[in-house]
A and B are shown apart, each in its own frame.
Chain A
Amino acid sequence: MDLDGESSSTLSTGVQTIPRHSTRHGAFYQFTQQSLPACKPVLTPATVITTFLLMGFIFIPVGLITLRASNSVVEIVDRYDIDCVQEEFRHNKVAYIKDESIPKNCSRFLKVLRPMKAPIYIYYQLDNYYQNHRRYVKSRSDKQLLHGLAYNDTSSCKPLESSHDLPIVPCGLIAWSLFNDTYTFSRGPTELKVNRKNIAWKSDRDQKYGKHVYPFNFQNGTLIGGGKLDPSIPLSDQEDLIVWMRTAALPSFRKLYGRIEEDLDADDVIVVHLMNNYNTYSFGGKKKLVLSTSSWLGGKNDFLGVANLFVGAFCILISIIFLLLHVKYPRPYGDTTYISWNRKIVAS
């Protein structure tokens, strides 16, 4: 009997809706009849060839401009991880870096080839360093960084959430492996001032790291990882840590160390005094020091420019090919005489 009620109701509504709908040719009516006005683009030779040509004419200039921006950046890259190991330890670098009694200081001489305008950014670059390793990238506690010891649940920091049964602030592998090489710069006899403030994102300093959270029980365990933190400085001011905690997506990355706020001239020789503390030797990583100016596009990176040029050139090539094809084999469009409904041909 429910069946009956159903069908009779559909019948009656159907009867009622007919006059109502046919009088109202509104958008909804068109929608129900699937007859909304529609534009149907056609891939005519003209539109397609122009599109490709247009794309070529946009991407090639963009590529040139980005390439120019990239080229305007002056960059000095110096790999020091091997040269800073004394000759006698070269065969066993891991022992060298692990031995605290060996002095780790080292001097590098960098020659400025092109004049560099301030600000000059100082980066350290690590290669073959997997900050994006799953075990590593997860081992942190954002809440603890913000709230400090008040936040107890540090299970996400495994395997380094506590030591000596006391929680570690900041906990986790990332903080524990903090990069701890240091650099000082001098040009000739005068020391270059390096501004190490405001190297981390302002949003991180303000919102992500507690202003009253101080390092606690850090690097106190049996395993000493990387750098140590001054327990008297709140985390929000530990900018090296904040920079380090922004994990890199690639195994080769640069992190900001500081800024030189003086112009450097061509042929200047910069002397870098560095402390080669950080262990990249056990896993074959590389350490580089990078001095770089900046453009509106960021640092030196030719990829975008080259790729843009390539795509633009490719587009123009395609448009030329299509143009030639069109001239050589003009196809009458929409000629239905081409249609043969012979199934055998269709099937094959």
Chain B
Amino acid sequence: MKRYVYIDDDESSHDIYCDNRISNRKYTVLNFLPKNLWEQFSRFMNQYFLLIACLQLWPLITPVNPASTWGPLIFIFAVSASKEAWDDYNRYLSDKKANEKEVWVVKKSVKKLIQAQDIHVGNIVWLRENDEVPSDLVLIGTSDPQGVCYVETAALDGETDLKTRVIPSACMGIDVELLHKIKGVIECPSPDKDIRRFDANMRLFPPFIDNDICPLTIKNTILQSCYLRNTEWACGVAVYTGNETKMGMSRGIPEPKLTAMDAMIDKLTGAIFIFQIVVVLVLGVAGNVWKDTEAKQQWYVLYPHEGPWYELLVIPLRFELLCSIMIPISIKVSLDLVKSLYAKFIDWDHQMIDLETSIPSNATNTAISEDLGQVEYILTDKTGTLTENKMIFRRCCISGNFYGNENGDALKDVELLNAVSSGSSDVIRFLTVMAICNTVIPTPSKTGDILYKAQSQDEDALVHAAARLHMVYFNKSGNILGIKFNSSILQYEVLETLEFTSERKRMSVVVKDCQNGKILLLSKGADEAILPYARTGQQTRHFIEAVEQYAHLGLRTLCLAWRELKRDEYREWSLMFKEASSTLVDREWRVADVCQRVEHDLDILGVTAIEDRLQDGVPETIETLRKAGINFWMLTGDKQNTAIQIALSCNFISPEPKGQLLSIDGKTQDDVCRSLERVLRTMRITTSEPKDVAFVVDGWALEIALNHYRKAFTELAVLARTAICCRVTPSQKAQLVQILKSCDYRTLAIGDGGNDVRMIQQADIGVGISGREGLQAARAADYSIGKFRFLKRLILVHGRYSYNRTAFLSQYSFYKSLLICFIQIFFSFISGVSGTSLFNSVSLMAYNVFYTSVPVLVSVLDKDLSEKTVMQHPQILFYCQAGRLLNPSTFAGWFGRSLFHAIVVFVISIHAYAYDKSEMEEVSMVALSGCIWLQAFVVTMETNSFTILQHMAIWGNLAAFYAINWIFSALPSSGMYTIMFRLCRQPSYWIAIFLMVAAGMGPILGIKYFRYTYRPSKINTLQQAERLGGPILSLGTIEPQQRSIEKDVSTLSITQPKNRNPVYEPLLSDSPNATRRSFGAGTPFDFFQSQSRLTHSTSYTRNCKDN
């Protein structure tokens, strides 16, 4: 599907395309109620409660006033509906603001001010500096004579640097006045959400230019929600409007995530539901039998001889209603409430504020904090996540000379400085490539310094380093780059830019040296993308050595190369390039193909080594979390060697003999299969040994493994605690997450860049690091943190506490509902199985909604162990991971406890209030008081740490219970008039209550003490250790020493190359395929071809899906 946009001819587009009205709203005023109700009732729990509430409207069967269910039900629905309505209203307001913004638009060659929502496809929109772009536009003119403008795309992709956008060549040089009258047609694809691609063509109608087709790329567009910066004005043709813009299309509500705990609670609810059905059936049958045998003889009940047809159903339905409180209606509200508080605690946490940038942690998804405590796999990105993504140029190798090896900083290497000042031609070429082979934009700041706006941190580091070495890139005006070398100014004209893609792994520029008119190709890229294309005869051996040496130090390497192009060659090639970049189908691949035709016979200049330092606390964090039983996978686009080095230095894998690294590689299916099987065999053997076995796999082998040997790879994934996946694409990252999820593991993905977004969204929990690569990952994530080390606190403190608290809260909610329900069931046995409710409506409603929900809510402050203890003993997380605190057996414990308490309360109240005292209201209040007292003590018993708030809630709630009942007892119209006053004056009431507390809590205290002392869990032991003071002697105190050793290793590995052999060699020596890769001339390296085949197929399928 294509669309043809006729410039400034909106008559034709009116009917076909929507106007520019943005609508993010989910509801309208009319459909709000039905749609919202429909959504809410699609949940099983809500359907259940509605059914119960409807049944209660039938007075014959309802045991209590229907208000006792309708009230809470309507309250719950009102709360979630008004939350939705409020969100939708805010969306409406922001839409309205955007829609009514006034913009200048040319319509029928006349420029007028209209509201943004009235823009139609084909209109020419004029923007001034700092305006927000109202719809997707194809640029046709800017204030800049070269047709360049700058946009900030932060809202779109989170990248804060300015991007350049240029007008298409066809529009170059059109006068401002003429822009009003411009006519033409733009052929562009149907709207999609790919913000990096726009494969379109433009043809202007005479008299502007001959019928030449001009290719358009994303470079020629400015997209909705970007801001125009540093440009006086710009104008463009609207091609996509309203919700059909790239921004509008990529908007979407992600699937709500369900925590493992929610799933467990649902399962338990299901079990309780089945139990309830059984109880109802048994009691229903018993009731009908009793009615036929006994009640028919009881003249005072006056049963008619012939009942209506539904008579048999009446008693079971009554019991259904009586037992409906088994499933607590309050649990959803309570859980929502505490979950949002967990999220708030994360937002508030001072220890998780990045002090450098003052960015606090943020929980975007408030519903999944418990899952943090149950994480089993962490899949982490490397660059920017483990490392700081603060690139510093450290070393280089120029034509065989190593610089920076002695002091670790090439910029201070005297030899290099001498070489620069002596003007060695190799060094100057090297510096030139460093300075201009990039997409960096220099802007002079007010203080006279030059600020560089770079899209990639590597380029930034190179440009800065070049500037330090006196090759200062100071100006870019249009295509002319200005460079100051020593005191002379050199100028280069950029002819073409061959952009970087992750498939090509290199970028090049074609420039004309303005001094002598020579045309030069400057390239930089990954070693395997540059070195194979060296000119025949050049020795690349020392470059390969340099690359390996740098990689062992964990440095990022780039190879720089250049070639002088002949004019004819350039002319011929540029035509091809132009054609390729104007194709609509598979443009990326075609362009890559054409690029390769010029990037050959390169003169390799040297290798740069850029250091990307580990973030603070990364090794400690990984070690702690691994001790907590979390498995780590590193997924990176980087080289295998660099990845392994980083992995070593951050405790990711251990060196021999403690650890073993197995490698899966191979270029063909058979190779990969063999390698995979070998690794799998080794892995199976070594699982019994206490050895850290990890495997390393690269993207190519991974692709084969995922496509053809998925089962074997999945088995490997389960066996391996650690894995390093290098050179993986974003979609492979997401696939790996999918594999682990399919094995029922809780996964957490953490990353910082746009390439991690898919993995973050795929994982059970996505954590984004608000880092230097923009906020894209942080925005897509459930949690965003400033630094990797906060992950430790996020999981061990927030995740663990959330899990513990929810485990208690949810089981307690069932406990208290079951307690009162069991009493009702017992009472039915002494009331002729007729379904009488012992408790009145007010008590029943208040019991669930008020009396029992307040004390338990403050359990969000409960801490079983102090944060310090947990950090020292991260292994304790196992209890959360294995779901030790909420599972069918713990639930059975709570079930038994409620049964026991119900028996205690029921037996004591009916015997203490027998004979002359057996007045219905009094007995019911005695039983209710007993429940309230018992639940207060249960909360007390299960609370590990009491803050003032807990005391207030527990005992205040008890006082409130009496206050409320005294108020009701003072109202003559209420059924329980004077009851509570009478009871409180009776000694037997108080004796009975304390008897219930003692009889109910005594055995529980005894069992708890016994288990706490003689069968202690690890948590108990740590509690005892922590609370009795004194040093906690265990791994915690030994740790620092271990750490310091390993820290030495990590620092050594960066500074001293001598250490590399013992660390590195043995690691792969055991692995089945230990031969190192070499890129000699003898082994033809078919990387690009195979890669292009691969990208061809994948990108093609992706296209299909988009269309």
Contacts and interface: CB of A to CB of B under 8 A. Distances in A.
Given A159-B302, A249-B918, A283-B299, A133 B831 contact: yes
B948 A51 contact: no
Interface in B1021-1074: 1021-1028, 1030, 1032-1035
From A15, A208, A296, A298, residue with most partner B Cβ within 10 Å: A298
Contacts of B1022: 334, 336, 339
Contacts of A177: 299-300
B669 to A, nearest CB: 37
B987 A296 contact: yes
A311 B923 CA distance: 21
B629 to A, nearest CB: 7
A36 B978 contact: no
A313 B299 CA distance: 46
B345 A301 contact: no
A207 interface: yes
B977 A32 contact: no
A303 B912 contact: yes
Contact of A132 (B358, B920, B1034): B920
Interface in B569-611: none
Contact of B924 (A51, A249, A343): A249
Contacts of B918: 248-250, 252-254
Contact of B947 (A18, A37, A62, A297): A37
A298 to B, nearest CB: 6
Q: Which of A7, A14, A134, A304 counts the most chain B CB atoms within 10 A?
A: A134
Interface string B332-367: 000000000000110011110100001110100000
A59 to B, nearest CB: 6
Contacts of A233: none
A39 B302 contact: no
B1025 to A, nearest CB: 3
B832 A132 contact: yes
B998 interface: yes
Contacts of A208: 972, 977
Interface string A306-348: 0110010011001000100100010101111111010100110
A249 B1025 contact: no
Given A18-B358, A48-B1005, A304-B995, A298 B986 contact: yes
Contacts of A33: 348-351
Contacts of B345: 32, 34
Contacts of B120: none
Interface string A196-229: 0000010100011000000000000001011000
A282 B295 CA distance: 11
A48 B947 contact: no
B834 A134 contact: yes
Interface string A126-151: 00011111111100001000000000
A88 interface: no
A45 interface: yes
A44 to B, nearest CB: 8
A324 B371 CA distance: 43
Q: Is the interface of B mostly helix, strand, loop or mixed?
A: helix
Interface in A275-310: 279, 282-284, 292, 296-299, 301, 303-304, 307-308
Contacts of B1026: 40, 334
Nearest to B318: A134
Nearest to B95: A2
Contacts of A32: 344-345, 348-349
A187 interface: no
A51 B1006 CA distance: 10
B919 to A, nearest CB: 5
Contact of B1034 (A11, A246, A318, A336): A336
Contact of B301 (A10, A136, A253): A136
B493 to A, nearest CB: 36
A249 B827 CA distance: 9
Contacts of A42: 1023-1024, 1027-1028
B972 A4 contact: no
A343 B945 contact: no
B691 interface: no
Nearest to A41: B946
Contact of A311 (B912, B999, B1016): B999
B127 to A, nearest CB: 15
A1 B225 contact: yes
Contact of A134 (B91, B298, B836): B836
A2 B94 contact: yes
Contact of A250 (B835, B910, B978): B910
A154 interface: no
Nearest to B909: A249
B863 interface: yes
A10 B779 contact: no
A14 B359 contact: yes
B496 to A, nearest CB: 34
B299 A21 contact: no
Contacts of B875: 341
A64 interface: no
A337 B873 CA distance: 13
A308 B878 contact: no
B1021 A338 contact: yes
A334 B947 contact: no
B842 interface: no
Contact of A173 (B302, B910, B919): B302
A334 B1031 CA distance: 10
Tell me which of B94, B629, B998 has the highest count of chain A C-beta atoms within 10 A of its own C-beta: B998
Given A2-B24, A45-B1013, A336-B1025, A14 B360 contact: yes
Nearest to B770: A11
A279 B915 contact: no
B919 A249 contact: yes
Interface string A246-276: 1111111111100000000000000000000
A37 B866 CA distance: 12
A318 B913 contact: no
B1008 A130 contact: no
B350 A7 contact: no
Given A249-B918, A282-B297, 16 more contacts: A14-B360, A14-B362, A18-B350, A34-B801, A130-B832, A133-B298, A135-B303, A225-B300, A249-B922, A253-B918, A283-B299, A297-B987, A298-B986, A308-B991, A338-B1016, A339-B1022
Interface of A: 1-5, 7, 10-11, 14-15, 17-18, 21-22, 31-34, 36-43, 45, 48, 51-52, 55, 59, 62, 66, 121, 123, 125, 129-137, 142, 159-160, 173, 176-177, 201, 203, 207-208, 223, 225-226, 246-256, 279, 282-284, 292, 296-299, 301, 303-304, 307-308, 311, 314-315, 318, 322, 325, 329, 331, 333-339, 341, 343, 346-347
10 contacts: A22-B350, A34-B863, A130-B298, A133-B301, A136-B300, A137-B836, A173-B301, A203-B978, A335-B1025, A343-B629
A-B residue pairs, 9 tightest by C-beta: A334-B1025, A334-B1024, A4-B155, A177-B300, A32-B348, A38-B945, A249-B923, A134-B834, A36-B947
